[in-house]
Structure 1
Amino acid sequence: MIEYIRGMIEDIGQDHVVIDFMGIGIKVFVPFSTLKVLPPKGNIVKLYTYLHVKEERFQIFGFKTKEELDLFEKLLFVNGVGPKGALSILSVISIDNFIKAVNAGDYKTIVTAPGIGRKTAERIILELKDKLPKEVAYEGENNFSNDVLEALLTLGYTKSEAIYALADVDCSNVEEAVKQALKKLMK
């Protein structure tokens, strides 16, 4: 198995990048989420890879993060989802939004990926619901204070309930944030 590839970017296509690795041009298929963060041609890049072998065809898929690679591999285990479908999902849905959609049973978000229909989206939800984290690591403006989270956990709420309750709460004031989260949880 090829864990990752590091080399100079020779060419960038709509769904792939060609990496010069020790004088060999390797075509690596990538989702749009990876494509948009790649440096320009001539720069060195490291991509985490998955080697897909089918009959006499070998394809390498690359990802900027291990999390993208992990989700790609999980999608491949879903009946009816191949590398093209998995890549399509990762191209249009962020990992956090995908996890939220699966946990909420929201097939409409998943069908926004080209080539993924309702039945396939429902199968993805059914097969991955217990294999994905129950909560999403919120970043940026949704970054909550550990103090607020700990307060809710101490009150007996689960981590996923606490994270759900804190999704839209301003956590700059711990006491006020706990009050707002409790109101949301008691509805």
Structure 2
Amino acid sequence: MFQYIKGTIDSFGEDYIVIENHDIGYKIYTSLETIGAVKGRQGKIIIFTQMVVREDDISVYGFSTREELKMFQLLTTVTGVGAKVALGILSSISIGNLAGMIISEDITGLTKAQGVGKKTAQRIVLELKDKIDHKLAILEPSLIPLKPTFTDANDEVVNALMALGYNRGEALAAVHEVEYGSNGVEDMIRRALKVLAK
């Protein structure tokens, strides 16, 4: 129904953003990758969308790039992978790394994503290996997951930011942006606060 929504950012949640367009707020479920990409942007942004209709629910999922939307659509074609699981995968692994893992049949790497066990990882590889655009796999030369594990230090920083009044989605996005190169928890908190203050 919608190809994309263009508007200004109203608010963030743990796994969604609200985009205001003509005085209407659209709740769009999205990945941490997209939340990190659009957070702090001024003016209008474009979110590429996919409506998911179930018997008891109608939801809109959206991403900051067409490539991430395409990967979401491919993931939801896999047996046993619904929209929520697909979103968890995209919040754990970047699309470039994900494409590389599927092409190289990296089952272990895929199981590090939220909600993905060994059997699901095997199905993803089996059903998508021939459908993945190999160009996606070279968008990022390093096959390092964006969030291979969420460390105790990261959890501590997220909890500290939430205690300061930020919601979990904002805190996760900020930690995701500063986790590499930080020198301990206190340094990560300081850097995350600078990100959130932008």
TM-score (normalizing by structure 1): 0.70
Is 1:60 aligned to 2:51, yes or no? no
Which residue number in structure 1 is paired with residue 172 of structure 2? none
RMSD between aligned residues: 1.8
Is 1:28 aligned to 2:60, yes or no? no
Which residue number in structure 1 is paired with residue 3 of structure 2? 3
Gaps of 5+ in 2: 143-198
Distance 1:137 1:58, change over 3 A: same
SS in 1 for 2:5: strand
Gaps of 5+ in 1: 142-187
SS in 2 for 1:87: helix
1:42 deviates by 6.5
1:13 deviates by 1.1
Distance 1:57 1:111, change over 3 A: same
Which residue number in structure 2 is paired with residue 137 of structure 1? 138
Distance in 1, Cα, partners of 2:111 & 2:140: 25
Could you list the per-position Cα deviations for residues 124-154 of structure 1 after superposition, in whole angstroms to 9, with x for gaps in the alignment?
A: 000001101345335579xxxxxxxxxxxxx
Contact kept? 1:12, 1:41, Cα under 8 Å: no
SS in 2 for 1:132: coil
Which residue number in structure 2 is paired with residue 181 of structure 1? none
Could you list the per-position Cα deviations for residues 35-88 of structure 1 after superposition, in whole angstroms to 9, with x for gaps in the alignment?
A: 001133864221000000001311011101000000100011000000011111
Which residue number in structure 1 is paired with residue 50 of structure 2? 50
Distance in 1, Cα, partners of 2:51 & 2:20: 17
Contact kept? 1:4, 1:46, Cα under 8 Å: yes
Contact kept? 1:47, 1:65, Cα under 8 Å: yes
- Count of residue pairs brought into register by the alignment: 141
Distance in 2, Cα, partners of 1:138 & 1:49: 21
| Range with bigger deviation, 21-30 or 40-49 | 40-49
Distance in 2, Cα, partners of 1:139 & 1:56: 38
SS in 2 for 1:37: helix
Which residue number in structure 1 is paired with residue 111 of structure 2? 111
Fraction of identical pairs, as percent: 38
Q: Which amino acid in structure 1 is aligned with residue 138 of structure 2?
A: A
SS in 2 for 1:34: helix
Distance 1:134 1:10, change over 3 A: closer
Which residue number in structure 2 is paired with residue 76 of structure 1? 76
